[in-house]
Chains A and B, each alone.
Chain A
Amino acid sequence: MKRFFIQRSKREQVLILLFALIGLAWWGTSLSARANDQYRGWRAAHEEFKTQELWLEQREAILERVVSAGETLDPSRALDSAQSFAELDRMLSGLNAEVSSQRTERTQQFALHGLQVNIRRAPLSDILKFYGQLSERAPYLGIDSCVISTDRSSRGMLNVNFRIYSIEVISSEE
């Protein structure tokens, strides 16, 4: 290679070197960017692996915590998704309300169902009645969060949005 270069004329040497340098700069830049991306990919994969390992290490402890936290629950009073939906529908009868189901978090022993209840233009007394019925089913049915606002168009009326949970105890036969 060196002999080949030495045997070229000066003009050819300049051109060869120029093209080689351009090629090197082009390739080197692209390679450096890709190598950097790949390095970050490795780092991310490594971090994800470590996080997964941590979760797996904690697996038994977490499941024990779930069992322990649910020990006081009475399976006969717990509600599955359909039951909680029906129960809320019953409690909301007579109110201008809408119920929709949301995501469910589930383990082998328990499931936590999320439901959204939106009540429109209802007097405070009706809402308190619904709230009273809901409180009777605690902790199997309860409120995650709520937003109460006055209805601008109807004085004395309220709009209320509840995010409600229901706990389901999954029996071992299932």
Chain B
Amino acid sequence: MPATSTSASVHATTDPAVILLTGERFFVRRIPIAADSPAAPQVELALETISPFPLEQMFHGHVIDRAQRHALVYSAYRRNFSAAEQADWANAESVLPDFLMHVFVPRGSQATDATLHETDAALTAIAWDSESELPALILHRPVSNENREQSKAELLAELTRRTQVDLEDHSIVSGPITAKLNEKQSVLLSCEEHTTPPLSTAFLAHADVRDGQVLATKRRANRSASLWCNTFTLVIVALVLCLVVELGMIVTSKLLDSRQGRLDERNPEIEKIESAQNLANRLETLAAEQLRPFEMLAAINAPRPQSVEFLRVSTRGPLQLEIDAQTANANDLRTYEAALKSLPFIASVTISDSRSRSGLTTFSLEVTFKPRWTQTGGGS
């Protein structure tokens, strides 16, 4: 029986985050499943049927093929694993049977239908058929140097008998299977030059043999750790962002100073223009209308009742007078207002702040003259 063999020995270390269990303790079967129903209940039902022990006494897992028509199920009796052996399981990312390497390693077009994997202590024979990319059968035999050749022959014979797979060509792999986690926390299984693609923890969720409760606890812990880690990452990113903004502000502050300097340089020139603008306004106002306070005062004095006395007169612009006045006769206030309003050169009259005390009424008078009022009868 010819065989292709790879003999390079590999000494890769196994990552403690992934625990590989030797395959000879597992009972392995490929079962057909219905693609339109959830796989997990179908797998559990099948395991309960074919497993030699009740399901609660087993560690078990499964892998589904791409067409979701077959599942490779495997289970092992719990007592086959000592408490010491299980001590690290809680902290591990994944606990997997080692033969899964053969399941996940991509098979090229030249791949043989069977592989014999030899280690110092065991032989594993794997057979594939055309129904699925999952192996049709995986068989294990413990082996010693004395009975190695005989065991090998018996194992291959049994594989042929049970699968009807033609074992004319089969490949031989030797050495231990190792596992490691890459930087994205994906599992890589390898033996010699055969390496699986990165397998994410989520992808391997059903392949893990630990109890669902343990896995759920583990997932919660992972989520919590991930949350902490992501929060820390966010804070660091925010701090880096602050640093970038701080540096940006140093640069923009220098630019702002420079711009402010340029504006300050131009300020004297702008002040000159503003001054010229004021001067132009003043000259234009003076040309149009000059303030004539005493003429204005004389104009509003004419209709003034005898009782009204001016205390203070101030100008506001060329056309307005503000007068603080008093009268002993409050009625004269309205009479005076009416008289002022009747003058043709008066635009408006406003009396405000009237107060009466001890028979004397004080008030404020605001009189606005019409533009060019002197030409309309005033100021003569």
Contact = CB atoms under 8 A, between A and B. Distances in A.
A150 interface: yes
A139 B290 contact: yes
B242 interface: yes
B107 to A, nearest CB: 35
A38 B235 contact: no
Interface in A1-53: 1-2, 5-6, 13, 16-17, 20-21, 23-24, 27-28, 31, 34-35, 38, 41-42, 45, 48-49, 52
Interface stretch (A62-70, A85-93, A115-123): A62-70
Contact of B236 (A20, A58, A131): A20
Interface in B337-366: none
A105 B249 CA distance: 41
Q: Is the interface of A mostly helix, strand, loop or mixed?
A: helix
B256 interface: yes
A34 B249 contact: yes
A58 B270 CA distance: 10
Interface string B220-259: 0000010011011101101100100110010011001001
A59 B272 CA distance: 9
A77 interface: no
A142 B312 contact: no
B263 A139 contact: no
Interface string A87-119: 000000000000000000111001010000000
A112 B229 contact: no
A105 B274 CA distance: 10
B77 interface: no
A59 B273 contact: yes
B283 A110 contact: yes
A145 B239 CA distance: 63
B19 to A, nearest CB: 19
A17 B225 CA distance: 13
B273 A66 contact: no
B315 A17 contact: no
A147 B274 contact: no
B280 A66 contact: yes
A148 B297 contact: yes
A83 interface: no
A1 B233 CA distance: 8
B233 A2 contact: yes
Contacts of A6: 225, 229
A70 B233 CA distance: 73
B1 interface: no
Given A6-B229, A62-B273, A112-B282, A148 B236 contact: no
A52 B272 CA distance: 12
A72 interface: yes
B235 A107 contact: no
A24 B314 CA distance: 62
Contacts of B314: 145-148
A127 B284 CA distance: 28
A107 B291 contact: no
Nearest to B232: A5
Contacts of A41: 256, 260
Given A2-B232, A24-B242, A28-B238, A66 B312 contact: no
A38 B252 contact: yes
A13 B228 contact: yes
B239 A52 contact: no
Contacts of A23: 239
A66 B270 contact: no
B259 to A, nearest CB: 5
Nearest to B266: A52
A147 B316 CA distance: 10
Contacts of B269: 56
Contact of B276 (A16, A66, A128): A66
Given A55-B273, A128-B294, 11 more contacts: A1-B233, A27-B239, A38-B256, A45-B259, A48-B263, A58-B273, A62-B273, A69-B283, A143-B315, A146-B293, A150-B312
18 contacts: A2-B232, A17-B231, A24-B242, A34-B249, A35-B245, A38-B249, A45-B256, A55-B274, A62-B277, A65-B280, A65-B284, A69-B284, A143-B290, A144-B291, A148-B293, A148-B314, A149-B312, A167-B283
Interface of B: 225, 228-229, 231-233, 235-236, 238-239, 242, 245-246, 249, 252-253, 256, 259-260, 263, 266-267, 269-270, 272-280, 282-284, 286-287, 290-294, 297, 310-316
